[in-house]
Each structure stands twice: as C-alpha cells, then as structure tokens.
Amino acid sequence: MGLPRDPAAFAIRPAVRDDIPAIAALHVASWRESYAGLIDQRLIDERTVEARRAQWSAILDGPQRRTLVAHDRSALFGFASALILATPCDGYDSYLQLLYLSATAKGRGIGGALLRAIAASLLDEGCRSMVLRVLRRNPARAFYERFGARLAPDGLTIDAGLFDDVIYAFPDLHAIAQRSPSPTHSRSPA
Ligand SMILES: CC(C)(COP(=O)(O)OP(=O)(O)OC[C@H]1O[C@@H](n2cnc3c(N)ncnc32)[C@H](O)[C@@H]1OP(=O)(O)O)[C@@H](O)C(=O)NCCC(=O)NCCS
C-alpha cells in the first residue's frame, strides 16, 4: 500500500460499518506482524479475518464504544477503538482497547494522530482519563510513554488475564489531546 509521508495527506474520522472489512483485515495483519514471537502463535492464527469481521460487526456500534480510522482517498491504514467506562475503574473513565496501523503506516505520526483524536473524542463525551493494556514485551510501550502514560497498578478487570501485559494510565486526557506532533519525527518510517 503506497502511503503519503506528509501527515497532512491522511485524515481521521469515525468508523462506519462499511469500514468493517478493511478494519478486520488490518487487525489480522497487524497482529501477525506485531505479535509473532510475543504471544502464542496459535492465538494469532485463530484470529482470522472472518473472526475479526464477526467481532467488529458485533461491537462497532456499541453505545460505549468510539472507533476512529485513519485513511487517505484510497485506503484505510489505521484505527483506534476505546470504551467509555460506565463504572470507572480505579478512577479511570475510559479504556483504549485497540490501536493498530498497517506496517507501512508506522513511524509517520499517524499512531500519534489517532491517539490525540481518540483522546479528543473521549473528552467530548465527558471522559477525563484513560487506561490501556500493552503486552509487557511490546515496543509500543515507548509510544505510550512518549505521550505521558504512566504504569498503573493491575486493578483493571477488562481484558484481564488474557496476556502477559502491563497497564498504563493517562490521568488527564487533555495532556494527550494537546500534545503537538514533533516537527522532526524522532523515528524513521518502518
Ligand atoms: C504503536 C503504534 C500505534 C505507534 O504508531 P506510529 O504511527 O508508529 O507512532 P508515531 O509515528 O505517531 O510516533 C509518535 C511518537 O512515539 C514514538 N514512538 C512510536 N513508536 C515507538 C517505538 N516503538 N519505540 C520508541 N518510540 C516510539 C515516536 O518516536 C514519536 O515520538 P515523537 O513524537 O517524540 O517524535 C504503531 O507502531 C503500531 O501500530 N504498532 C503495532 C501494533 C501495536 O502494538 N499497537 C499497540 C497495541 S496496545
């Protein structure tokens, strides 16, 4: 997939049902690429595109869910999906469940743009803070730390016990939403 280097050449919008096939395909591809060697390969293999399509069909329109996609005119190359927690967990009132990019989209500021956009969307919903899980050995930990995430105690019940992961918290969503993209990006595109 050819991708613009210029961040201005992509846009972010709420996901719609027509996006489900592309989101499901990207979800599967990103798991295969990002998690091989980090989790049991069987868990990756059993998450097929068909299974992901069914999962997304069931969850996309949930009243507590907010999902954004990054795209250009021809392709979708990333998504972020969060839950508004009706009952705050340890005082945190939203949960970033999923954030994935296609391989060629990494390192261009798109993940950061999605994170800022989902934070802004959650603020609009009245949320103030956010938690998330990351695999203990996932290099993406450095990405969240870059945005000010701090390790949090393991009190989160959502998605608990599935993987060897750690929990990060953002006590104030404004801090994410207001973080400016670096003028000179510190990493090269993947
Ligand atoms: C993690 C992910 C979303 C980051 O998206 P990205 O578009 O590559 O990140 P960006 O280019 O927006 O980077 C934003 C900042 O984070 C830093 N960063 C991003 N990934 C990093 C990494 N692996 N190690 C160190 N720093 C990283 C960048 O240097 C940049 O810092 P700067 O703004 O100070 O220059 C993307 O790499 C991805 O999809 N990874 C695979 C799936 C995954 O693990 N998702 C998280 C599941 S919890």
pLDDT in tens, 113-133: 999 999 999 999 999 999 999
- Spatial strand order of the sheet with 92-101 comes to 11-14, 65-71, 76-89, 92-101, 130-135, 165-170, 150-151
Rounded to an integer, the average pLDDT of 65-92 is 94
Least confident of 16-20, 56-60, 146-150, 175-179: 175-179
109 lines ligand 1 (CB under 6 A): yes
Residue 83: Cβ-neighbour burial (10 angstroms; 0-12, 13-18, 19+)? buried
| Partners of residue 70 on adjacent β-strands | 12, 78
Closest atom of ligand 1 to 133 CA is 48
Closest to 148 measured CA to CA, from 168, 128, 120, 125: 168
81 lines ligand 1 (CB under 6 A): no
Query: What are the tens digits of pLDDT across the range 10-36?
Result: 999 999 999 999 999 999 999 999 999
% the chain with pLDDT above 90: 79
**Who contacts 182 (Cβ-Cβ below 8 Å, separation ≥6)?**
109
The domains located in the chain, with CATH, are: 7-177 (3.40.630.30)
What is the distance between the alpha carbons of residues 177 and 50, in angstroms, rounded to a whole number? 34
**Whose Cα sits closest to atom 5 in ligand 1?**
111
Distance from the alpha carbon of residue 115 to the mean position of ligand 1, in angstroms? 10
- Residue 178's pLDDT is 85
189 lines ligand 1 (CB under 6 A): no
Site to probe by mutation for ligand 1, drawn from 143, 182, 185 as the one with most ligand atoms within 8 Å of Cβ, is: 143
**Whose Cα sits closest to atom 30 in ligand 1?**
186
**Whose Cα sits closest to atom 4 in ligand 1?**
111
What is the rounded average pLDDT for all residues in the chain?
Answer: 91
